[in-house]
């Protein structure tokens, strides 16, 4: 239930004030698994950090 409350709170989707670390990015991606990066700035920032670190290769066929 607490996860649902947090995920519906718009503040939980705001981008970070400083870039995420790799570890933080992995946690954000797990917590925001139901979000689309195109609509969730927090997940987008985490995804960008993982892409920049070479941990994720973006799909050419699926949208973020």
pLDDT of residue 5 exceeding 70: no
33-48: pLDDT as tens digits: 999 999 999 999 999 9
In percent, the amount of the chain with pLDDT more than 70 equals 84
12-23: pLDDT as tens digits: 899 999 999 999
Count of other CB atoms within 10 angstroms of residue 35: 19
Assess contact for 50 and 26: CB atoms under 8 A.
Answer: yes
Per-residue pLDDT, averaged over 7-12, amounts to 74
pLDDT for residue 39 = 93
Q: How distant, in Å, are the alpha carbons of 27, 50, 54, 59 from that of 13?
A: 13, 17, 23, 22
pLDDT of residue 62 exceeding 90: no
- Gap between the Cα atoms of 19 and 3, Å rounded: 23
């Amino acid at each position: 239930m607490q996860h649902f409350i947090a995920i519906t709170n718009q503040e939980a989707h705001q981008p970070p004030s400083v870039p995420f670390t790799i570890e933080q990015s992995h946690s954000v991606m797990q917590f925001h698994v139901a979000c689309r990066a195109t609509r969730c700035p927090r997940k987008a920032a985490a995804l960008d950090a993982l892409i920049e670190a070479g941990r994720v290769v973006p799909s050419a066929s699926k949208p973020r």
